[in-house]
Amino acid sequence: MDDKVFSMYYEEISKDIDKFIGREIEFQGFIYKEDGLDSNQLVISRFLITHCVADASMIGFLSEMEEAPELYDNMWVKVSGVIDKAAYNGTELPMIKIKKWKEIEEPFIPYLYPLTIKIL
C-alpha cells in the first residue's frame, strides 16, 4: 500500500474486514500506543489531510507484534503482515498481525491526501 492509495484501502478494508482476512499487506507509518491496548499491540498510523494541516485526522491499523513493547510513539516503521479482525471498545476493527518490520526515516511528505486532492 503506497501513500497514494493508503486512505482508500484503509477505508475499504475497514468497511468489509471479512473480505480481506488472511491477505498480506505492506505499508509504512508511525507508531501510536493508546492506553488500553495490550502490551503486544500498537497502531501503525498516518495523518490524513483533507484541506489543510489544521484539519489532519489520524488513521491507522491496530497491529500486533511481539516487539511492540520495545517500540516507541512516533517511531516510523515499514511493516508487512496479515490482515485479521479484532474487537476494541466494542467495535470490530481490522488487525494486522505483523510478520516483518523495520525502522525507517520519516518521509519527506509524511501526510496522506485523498486521491481527489491535487497537491500543487
Distances (CA, A) of 77 to 19, 74, 80: 26, 9, 10
pLDDT of residue 116: 60
Name the burial class of residue 31, with classes exposed (0-12), middle (13-18) and buried (19+) by CB atoms within 10 angstroms of its CB: buried
Q: What is the CA radius of gyration of the chain?
A: 14
Name the burial class of residue 96, with classes exposed (0-12), middle (13-18) and buried (19+) by CB atoms within 10 angstroms of its CB: buried
The pTM score is 0.89
Name the burial class of residue 75, with classes exposed (0-12), middle (13-18) and buried (19+) by CB atoms within 10 angstroms of its CB: middle
Helix residue ranges, H only, the chain: 6-15, 17-20
Beta carbons of 117 and 53 less than 8 angstroms apart:
no
- pLDDT per residue as tens digits for the range 22-61: 999 999 999 999 998 999 999 999 999 987 777 889 999 9
pLDDT of residue 82: 98
